Amino acid sequence: MKSLQDDDLRSMFQRLRAHESGKAPSFEQMCARPRTRRAPRTFLRVALTTLFIAAVVLVGVWRTGTNQVDATLVSSWRSPTDGLLKAPGSELLTSVPKIEMPKSNSFIY
Residues 1-20 contacting another protein, CB under 8 A: 1, 3-4, 6, 9-10, 12-17, 19-20
**Helices marked H in 33-94:** 39-75, 91-94
Q: How far is the CB of 48 from another protein (least distance, A)?
A: 13
C-alpha span between 47 and 34 (Å, rounded): 26
C-alpha span between 28 and 45 (Å, rounded): 32
Q: What is the DSSP letter of 82?
A: G
Residues 24-83 contacting another protein, CB under 8 A: 24-27, 30-31, 33, 35-36
In the bound state with another protein, the residue whose beta carbon lies nearer, of 31 and 101, is 31
Number of H helices, E strands in the chain: 5, 0
Footprint of another protein on this chain (CB under 8 A)? 1, 3-4, 6, 9-10, 12-17, 19-21, 23-27, 30-31, 33, 35-36
